[in-house]
Amino acid sequence: MAEPSPRPARLFQSQFLDAASIDLLNQYERALIENSFDYYSHVGLISILHQGLQDVINSGDGSSPGDAYLYDMLPALRDAYQSMRKQYALGERLWEFRIEDEKALARNVEERMGVLELCQKATAEEPYSAKLWLTYGEYIHHLMTCCWDPDAAEQWPEDEKILGKELFTAELLMETFRNGAEHVKYDVSGSALVWDRYLDLLLEDLERNYTPDKARRVAATLNDRLGQPHATWDTTLSKFSSFNSRYNQNTYEEIMESTVQQNSHIKKTYALREEFEFNLQKAVQVGDQDAEYYAMTRYLKWEKKTIGVSSFHLVNALYERAALRFPVDSSLWEDHVEFLIWQNNRSVSLLDVLERSTDHCPWSGSLWSHRILTLEAEQKSHDEIETVKHAATRSGMLEHTDLEELMKVQIAWCGYLRRKAFDDPNATEDDADMAEIGIRSALELAHETGLKKYGKDWSGDPKYRLERIHIKFLTQRGNMQEARQIWEVLTKKQEDSYDFWYRYYIWEMVVWSNHLTRDSSNVGQPLEPPTRATAVLEKGTKRLQSIDHPEPLVEMYVNHCEQHESVLKVRSVFIERRRAALVISIRREKEASARAQQNAVAETTTKRKREDEVDGLVTKKSKPSELEESAAIATSVEAPREVSEAPSSNSAAQKRDREHTSVIVRGLPADTTQIRLRQFFTDCGTVRSIALKPENDTITATVEFELPDEAEYSLTKETKGFNGHPITITRGQSTTLYVTNYPAS
């Protein structure tokens, strides 16, 4: 794990920037010294420095731009680009800035070739950006003009023109626009930036150098473009019309009529999206990013909901547009990845999307783990997967954000190592050794990082996920003793977790299952009972005072003994169950008492506040008894109780918590009685009251228990049904209305 290297903060000064900009630069610099991973400080720093350079360029006399090399912050600007690129992908906007800056600074052929290399890198990082492809192509066209046009805006020395004619060719220009057009063709809005220019180049080239074969290729390209929904479809049709009137005069009417008829559905496809596109464009024009994000996500939701056989690429292109506008929104990237996995369309490279997503959001453990799992699913080499894993953990950005992000990557990595060691038919012992080393290293890294981030009190991953992978690995390797040692170590940290004892118990039962059946090796011998599994549950039941869910643990213990242990053990476990029930009952009473005290304190506080409010509203002539009465009134409206129920005292009524101790049972047979229903819930706890209400051919009952946990446990009775009738049992929450704060009068 690499730590950001500290460096002294720079103090920015410039004759070309105003005081406010200088102050912002220094603020961003201090923020980056404290946290070099601060994405928005990187962006802010670059944006201000870039704008300063553009101001210098625009300060020319009108006939020629200002000298960019006069900008005294130029070294800082270039350093800012490099520093950010070490942490993040630049994204469409910053790539536009960087190319624009370097174009202004290029003074010779070598430097101009450097700008083209930047364009190539930009379109490789953001292959679906129509703006970057257009910038790339137009710069090549500009260089060609400087080589061939004697009246070009830039006048080059003759030797540079000769060299430029060899480097900046029409073939390079056409190939660049062809690549760009192919990448952005499903972008219904932005693709016109590239495609309109590309079609113009094709038609101009055909006009200069006509051949029948070239004419057929141009016609095919125009037809292909008309078959894609896009904002300038009518413009494309106009180009196609001009092409046919020039080269296919005899069949012009027939071709155009057929084309319009065949592509009528294409115009409708775009028309369905026109409102979404309008809302997006409106938000961009006013600079409202929140509105743009809302419009984009609504658009995506609609596209996915209405996806058809031919619209997969439209959804994918919309996700790419969203990533260009919101490059560090990891949730959008995750949605995109999940969409591609769901569709399983091999025409789009999932690995390419994942690589770009982790470049933009290197702190996202979810994206890195998706990338590792996809590499494994596509059977890439171990070295390639290991390289990606190291790339994820090298910067330290994962744990800087949240240790959970690092855990996601380590879980994906360790899972891969275990599967490679045991699920791969070609696996060797070396693979198992490598997996064990990798899993142990991941555990050590997680432990060290946790201690460093949270201090010595950090007790490890509460879900012990890496340890579970390690246990599974050791189990598959046959090393049960070491696997049990891990369980024992975990016991000290997880002993109050029912989930832990359940997992531990199931593992012991899986290990014991090898001795479950009789075969030739144990004929005439008693089958070995699952004594280790029994011991696990026995140890767990010693934590009844503190474990989070004691009731199901006791039930599991009893069921286990009934199934697998001797008669003496079964008899003794019945006695232990009664003891456990008493222990749990006492614990629940204490918890209920503690809750009642907390509620009483809260009610007292609320009452005092209410009294203070009333004191401020009534006149001085109000009697004290009236104020007390108005502050104390609280009427509870609930399901009707049976007449035979004994009335409770006021103090007892205040302590009752019907919201959390009641359940509603629906679907009971029409002949249900209170006695039968009390018998049904006998093993759940003490039933305080039952109210029956006829509904059509069934009965609905409101059952109030003594304690909230008894009500919670009663929900499990739903699966058993009532006397053969299916029923539903739900909590009785949100059924009580409290009316308070009456006026004193």
Question: Is the Cα torsion angle 456, 457, 463, 468 positive or negative in sign?
Answer: positive
List of domains in the chain: 19-269 (1.25.40.10), 291-304+311-515+529-580 (1.25.40), 633-739 (3.30.70.330)
Enter the pTM of the model: 0.77
* Mean pLDDT, residues 473-492: 94
Provide the mean pLDDT of the chain: 87
pLDDT in tens, 96-108: 999 999 999 999 9
Dump the DSSP string for 368-392: HHHHHHHHHHTT--HHHHHHHHHHH
* pLDDT band at residue 361 using 50, 70 and 90 as cut-offs: very high
Contact 226, 265 (CB under 8 A): no
Alpha helices in 618-649 (DSSP H): 624-632
Contact 706, 688 (CB under 8 A): yes
* pLDDT band at residue 621 using 50, 70 and 90 as cut-offs: very low
Provide the pLDDT for residue 644.
34
* Mean pLDDT, residues 170-192: 95
Dump the DSSP string for 686-740: -EEEEEEEEETTEEEEEEEESSHHHHHHHGGGGGG-BTTB--EEEE-TT--EEE-
Question: Is the Cα torsion angle 638, 642, 643, 646 positive or negative in sign?
Answer: negative
292-317 b/e (C-beta count within 10 Å ≥ 16 → b): bbebbbebbebbbeeeeeebbebbbb
Residue of higher predicted confidence among 742 and 130: 130
* Mean pLDDT, residues 697-701: 90
Long-range contacts of the stretch 588-591 (C-beta < 8 A, 24+): 588/707, 588/709, 588/710, 589/707, 591/709
Point out which residues pair with 687 in neighbouring strands.
Answer: 705
* pLDDT band at residue 1 using 50, 70 and 90 as cut-offs: very low
Whether 633 shows a pLDDT value over 70: the answer reads: no
Q: What is the 3-state secondary structure (H, E, C) of 479-524?
A: CHHHHHHHHHHHHHHHCCCHHHHHHHHHHHHHHHHHHCCCCHHHCC
* pLDDT band at residue 61 using 50, 70 and 90 as cut-offs: low
Whether 642 shows a pLDDT value over 50: the answer reads: no
Contact 438, 413 (CB under 8 A): yes
Q: State the DSSP code for 543.
A: T
Q: What percent of the chain has pLDDT over 90?
A: 68
pLDDT in tens, 421-439: 998 888 899 999 999 999 9
The three-class DSSP label of residue 175 is: helix
Whether 717 shows a pLDDT value over 90: the answer reads: no
Provide the pLDDT for residue 297.
95
* pLDDT band at residue 705 using 50, 70 and 90 as cut-offs: confident
* pLDDT band at residue 524 using 50, 70 and 90 as cut-offs: low
Provide the pLDDT for residue 64.
63
The three-class DSSP label of residue 662 is: strand
pLDDT in tens, 291-332: 999 999 999 999 998 887 678 999 999 999 999 999 999 999
Contact 283, 291 (CB under 8 A): yes
Q: State the DSSP code for 683.
A: G
* Mean pLDDT, residues 717-736: 81
First-to-last alpha carbon distance for the chain, in angstroms, is 70
* pLDDT band at residue 282 using 50, 70 and 90 as cut-offs: very high
